Amino acid sequence: MVSRATDAETRADRADHTAIRLWLRMLATNRLVETRTRRLLQERHATTLPRFDLMAQLERAPKGLKMGELSRRMMVTGGNVTGITDMLEEEGLVERVADPADRRATLVRLTAAGRRSFAAMAQEHEGWIVESFKELTGREMATMASLLARLKTHVRSLEERDA
């Protein structure tokens, strides 16, 4: 019986350039980890990855963040942030408060219930990610992180050059 490839990385062959195969492998691996994380967040906490991400940003900024800053940090549109914030506010997990530095601006911050909810999710989330990388040694992960940092810096410089 012939096995059918499930993704572009699996279908890549020796004729494909090494850089293409590596890029496809990175995409496939990222998609697998992200898909599993999304599923577990939904199953265990009835939430989505974007909601988790927004709460993670707010957890790092206890005094709150402006909507524009949340949008920038999450790399999504303001409309997406507003929709997620509205739902979390209805559930009592975040609140909007006046910015003491600029009365015209509003900050979003976690409520006490939001902090408790996020803490429970974050602990499990960390465990899922650690488990996903358990196949690699600490040294292998450090090497991979270093190589990816170097690649990220290079690609960023290409973007700056092209701009």
- Kindly indicate the confidence band of residue 131, based on its pLDDT and cuts at 50, 70 and 90: very high
- Give, in order, the Cα–Cα distances in Å from 134 to each of 91, 131, 137, 138: 35, 5, 7, 9
In the structure encoding, which two tokens stand for residue 8, read together?
């572009």
Enumerate the domain spans of the chain.
8-132
**pLDDT score, position 78:** 87
CATH code that applies to domain 8-132: 1.10.10.10
Tens digits of residue pLDDT in 26-39: 999 999 999 999 99
- Around Cβ 110, how many Cβ atoms within 10 Å? 23
